[in-house]
Chains A and B, each alone.
Chain A
Amino acid sequence: MNASQWVWLTVALPLAGFLVNGALALRRTPARAAVSIVGPGVLIAAFGVALAVFFELLGQPPHEPHIVTLWSWMPAGALELNLAFQVDQLSAVMLLVVTGVGSLIHLFSVGYMREDPGYARYFAYLNLFVAFMLVLVLGSSLPVLFIGWEGVGLCSYLLIGFWFTEKTNADAGLKAFIMNRIGDFGVLVAMFMLWRALGTLDFAQIAARAPDGLDAGGTIVTLITLFLFLGCTGKSAQIPLYTWLPDAMAGPTPVSALIHAATMVTAGVYLVARTNVLFAMAPLSSAVVAGVGAVTALFAATIALKQYDIKKVLAYSTVSQLGYMFVAVGSAAFAGGIFHLVTHAFFKALLFLGAGSVIHAMHHAYHATHSHEDAQDMRNMGGLRRHLPVTFWLMTIATLAIAGIPPFSGFFSKDEILASAFARGAEMPIYYLYYAFGVVAAFLTAFYMARLIAMTFLGENRTGTEAERHLHEAPWIMTGPLLVLGVLSAVGGVINLPTFAGGHHALETWLEPVTAAGAAFASLELPHGTTELLLVGGAIMVGAVGLLLGFRLTLGRRIPSAREAPADTGLARVLNRKYYVDEIYDAAIVRPLVWLSRMVLWKGVDQGVVDGAAVNGTARLSRGLGWVGSRLQTGQVGVYVVLFLVGALWILRAVIR
């Protein structure tokens, strides 16, 4: 049997789950048991299909991707668009990550969302999201990818605003949607330009035709890639469109883990890796990609230093790690970017689910004691290690992974990214700066993660003695997925072990057929020997020092609880308020836009021109004409008779002539 032919099942199953759960959500009585089976069930089934596809590819790796054409979508002249899925090494990796991590998070959600009245609706959205995400990673052409791209944006919006009765949550959803729309505009423009330049939108055709059809380093390919990257900054939360991601934490925590950490936000990295030939042909764009990535990595990491909401720290950490991935793909280390994408999916999903477990416990404790403290504020936590030992140890593993401590997964992927940026510096010196940014960001990452662990799990308890008694570990349905993710975070690095650690870059070799087109233009020679070991040693040291300092500085002084804490001052305040970027955007873009819409477009154009001149003007004109005409109607029969006679004579004259 040919498993690749059945790859559409991975999309169809979650879609069916969406329909079933959506129908159940409409019923008046909740059907929790059915939802609990269907919701995660379809995902696990899809994961099974993904495994079958993967093992088939592993058995006989094809050089040409399998194209599974479902139906002809838009046959219009020269444009021959099929709704087709592409099964190759890259989509197989993404398929496994999305369905695998997705399954675990679905299982976790069964426990986390158990008491929510919107249980069925939640799983309906989550299933729909996975279906769209798989369309995104499987699409064989840019338009099919774009269906998924828009679809995941929609689901993201629906899930951020899941608790829409609170206005801030609904606003956060809107913000995410609008920010993403700005990026989508870039993807659309890039598609139009690609069509004009190459006459195709299929990934395979793009890779085949681009080397001859476009000038390497020319204006057109640079513009196309920059517009594509604009889409990536929206979807993957990079400067300048990153501000929606921290706000997206308004959604349920498993959603943050699945959509806003592990899968959807990495779509931009996937897109760059997928169109690697274009980016490799445009060194200027690649430098922009890596530059934006490096600046974002550093910028977001500094903000994460002074956040108190446990999810906000992780959100900025996600933005920062996504920046790393863009440094990788911008340095033509496409496999390195995907490697970090995979390991990040493991440890960031684990961190978020761990945070979910913590919030779950805090929420229950406060609920039991009728307290109205903030269950997500780390200043209210502390000492949770005694009550949530499993969560604590697993989150520690994830922290070591993200901080880049060997042999955990994040070490290998982050190290490869830094090495790639360093290697690229030989050609373009600016990459040395990106490398430096990456190292500083790595230090800050270790620091804020240590701070998170210390504030949450170590030190004295700040929940209050009453609430402390109600703290307890989450049920097995929640800790189970955490355990699996813990194992993956710990050993995930083996998929792409470097030579110095006894491996042979398995993932890189595996992805070679996909990245070959790009490698023809921008090959990357990673440092070897002493340089490599020095870089690795430096990276480990930076991580270790960051962790140690983070623990020392956080545990060294008493942390006041959120209620008693004085307001931050100076630099800490600037960091806590996220450099006031939201305020700046509000003043520079949102307010002028609202003013323009209200005063010019609404009051001026709509009320003045459209309503005033066009609609009411027409009415007034016809009423005026009608008034003039009505003056003829005297009501006097005599007048009518005279007119009638005149008319009759006039016609008679015309007839006789």
Chain B
Amino acid sequence: MTDGMAPLLGPALGLSAILFSLGVAGVLLRRNVIVLFVCIELMLNAVNLTFVALAQLHGASGQVMVFFVMTVAAAEAAVGLAIILSIFRHKQSVDLQNINLLRG
């Protein structure tokens, strides 16, 4: 595998890894649900970047997959934002610490 066949593959994968790690760190560390949500989007798009980068080597299917991920992400955004809205109406807060209805 050479850069000649797949230009910028290494930097693209590196950026993707950085973005994904940022997303994971955000989900783990932040408590604001909106920020959490943004971080999830970040992870999804990091994965998208990987798909696109690797599509150079493995054909168009990676790029097609990106469209699927985008579609799912859009649906997820719609549903997720609706959930966040209703949580906010219910609790007057978007702080995760206050949302623990599942506690055993």
Contact = CB atoms under 8 A, between A and B. Distances in A.
A635 interface: yes
Contacts of A630: 104
Interface in B80-104: 96-97, 99-104
A633 B101 CA distance: 10
Given A637-B96, A637-B99, A638-B96, A631 B104 contact: yes
B9 to A, nearest CB: 20
Contact of B103 (A629, A633, A638, A641): A633
Interface in A529-587: none
A636 interface: yes
Interface in A618-657: 629-638, 641-642, 645
Interface string B57-85: 00000000000000000000000000000
A641 B27 contact: yes
B104 A636 contact: no
Contact of B102 (A631, A635, A638): A635
B12 interface: no
A508 B39 CA distance: 109
B30 to A, nearest CB: 9
A631 to B, nearest CB: 6
Nearest to B103: A635
B28 interface: yes
A322 B28 CA distance: 94
A636 B100 contact: yes
A635 B31 contact: no
B28 A634 contact: no
A185 B23 CA distance: 80
B104 A645 contact: no
Contacts of A636: 96-97, 100, 103
Interface string B19-52: 0000010011001000010000000000000000
Contacts of B24: 645
A367 B14 CA distance: 112
Given A636-B96, A636-B97, A641 B102 contact: no
B87 to A, nearest CB: 11
Contact residues on B (Cβ < 8 Å of other chain), bracket: 10 to 19
A634 B102 CA distance: 7
B39 to A, nearest CB: 10
Contacts of A645: 24, 28
Contacts of A638: 28, 31, 96
B54 to A, nearest CB: 17
Given A637-B96, A637-B99, A632 B104 contact: yes
Contacts of B100: 634-636
Contacts of A632: 104
Contact of A633 (B27, B31, B36, B102): B102
A637 to B, nearest CB: 5
Contacts of B101: 635
B55 to A, nearest CB: 22
Contacts of A631: 104
B34 to A, nearest CB: 13
A377 B102 CA distance: 80
A629 B103 CA distance: 11
A637 B31 CA distance: 9
Nearest to A629: B104
Nearest to B101: A635
A83 B4 CA distance: 96
A354 B102 CA distance: 84
Contacts of A637: 36, 96, 99
A642 B104 contact: no
B67 to A, nearest CB: 25
Interface in A589-626: none
Given A641-B27, A645-B24, A633 B97 contact: no
A642 B100 CA distance: 16
A635 B101 CA distance: 6
A638 B103 CA distance: 13
A632 B100 CA distance: 13
A619 B24 CA distance: 41
Contacts of B36: 637
A225 to B, nearest CB: 70
B70 to A, nearest CB: 22
B103 A642 contact: no
A629 B97 CA distance: 21
A631 B104 CA distance: 6
Residue of A629, A631, A637 contacting most chain B CB atoms (<10 Å):
A637
A360 B82 CA distance: 90
Nearest to A648: B24
B17 to A, nearest CB: 14
B38 to A, nearest CB: 15
Nearest to A644: B27
A630 B102 CA distance: 10
Nearest to A628: B104
A304 to B, nearest CB: 77
A636 B31 CA distance: 10
Nearest to A634: B103
B104 to A, nearest CB: 3
Residue of A630, A636, A645 contacting most chain B CB atoms (<10 Å):
A636
Nearest to A626: B104
Given A636-B96, A636-B97, A641 B28 contact: yes
B53 to A, nearest CB: 20
Nearest to A637: B96
Nearest to B29: A638
A645 B29 CA distance: 13
A586 to B, nearest CB: 58
A633 B99 CA distance: 13
A632 B103 CA distance: 8
B103 to A, nearest CB: 3
A165 to B, nearest CB: 58
A261 B102 CA distance: 77
B104 A633 contact: yes
Contacts of B96: 636-638
A632 B99 CA distance: 16
A430 B27 CA distance: 103
A36 to B, nearest CB: 74
A636 B33 CA distance: 12
A636 B101 CA distance: 9
Of all A-B residue pairs in the complex, the 3 with the closest CB atoms, nearest first, are A630-B104, A635-B100, A635-B103
8 contacts: A633-B102, A633-B103, A635-B102, A636-B97, A637-B36, A637-B96, A638-B28, A645-B28
Given A635-B99, A645-B24, 9 more contacts: A634-B103, A635-B100, A635-B103, A635-B104, A636-B96, A638-B28, A638-B31, A642-B28, A645-B28
Interface of A: 629-638, 641-642, 645
